[in-house]
Homo-oligomer: A and B are copies of this chain.
Amino acid sequence: VRTGQLEDLIQRARAGEPRAVARLVSIVEDSSADVRPMMRLLTATGGVPARSARVIGLTGPPGAGKSTTTAALIAEWRAGGQRVGVLAVDPSSPFSGGALLGDRIRMQDHATDPGVFIRSMASRGHLGGIAATTPQAVRVLESAGFDVVLIETVGVGQSEIEVASTADTVVVLLAPGMGDGIQAAKAGILEIGDVYVVNKADRDGADSTTRELRQMLSMGPRRAEDDWTPAILRTVATDGAGVHEFVDVLDRHHDWLSASGELEKRRVRRAAAEVEALVLADLRDRMGSPSAHGDLARVSEEVARGQLDPFSAADLVVSALTGQPGG
């Protein structure tokens, strides 16, 4: 794509043309050579953050009902006239590109609505992975004038949590049974939520899950920045019960973010996560370069053979990279 074509794409995306938006998000997802000039153009032409979207992260264990909840939120926001972008972030696998989107089927209610953009994003493992591509895709959707961007993370591991927690508001979704509470705690989920939702609240065990959650949250460390007390809600996303209240709480949290100055802080944090991921990807490339003096491959062989300890090996690589002594 040449610069002129990129400019044209960006202009059309700004005008809300769905195909242009999709194209720009693909450029981000593929980490193609166009992503650099595109980000430069998006910034230079000042679309961001002038029209900044609310960014909401949704995470939780498999089976909690993330897709159904996303669909219910979309319906609610659309009823309020808001344009909604959804990034379903899937940190894996060539497999997941297309074949496994069956669970997105519920979202097809919204597939023909031009006020809704939905994309499953897999990380292709380039240029900083999902930690970089997610904020970039958010930036594209912001510049295209979406009012809300929902980042849904499919997994429950550390990377997924990190991505979800770069949102303005982080929602943790649980469901009764399956020891979800415990599993969630293990995955570090209990430290990142602004809003906790016990979905499938019509099922057995909803009370005890809610109780367990409340207890765990009360035991947890309070984050320094918080005079927001994490909310605990109950929903049945399949029939919409509780979803209206859910959206109200999201609005309240957004008001709090703006009033407290926390919104700005979180956005700087999101930018820092993005920039750091790009920096580390660049440095990782340099490390792998066979011409580099502190060549990672060479020292790793020595470490594997027991001839060099890992810290001394790391120091050699750092010093070759930076020209400064490592350690």
Contacts and interface: CB of A to CB of B under 8 A. Distances in A.
Contact of A91 (B102, B158, B279, B296): B158
A43 B308 CA distance: 6
A159 B165 CA distance: 16
Interface string A79-101: 00000000000111111100010
Contact of A155 (B186, B220, B301): B186
Given A306-B49, A321-B322, A299 B275 contact: yes
Interface stretch (A1-9, A199-207, A262-270): A262-270
The range of chain A's interface size is 35 or more
B274 A303 contact: yes
A61 B156 CA distance: 10
Nearest to A154: B186
Given A95-B216, A187-B157, A323-B323, A317 B284 contact: no
5 contacts: A96-B185, A132-B310, A157-B187, A267-B304, A283-B321
Interface of A: 35-36, 39-40, 42-44, 46-50, 61-63, 90-96, 100, 102-103, 132, 135-136, 154-161, 178-179, 182-183, 185-188, 190-191, 216, 219-221, 264, 267-272, 274-276, 278-280, 282-284, 286-287, 296-297, 299-301, 303-315, 317-318, 321-324, 326-327
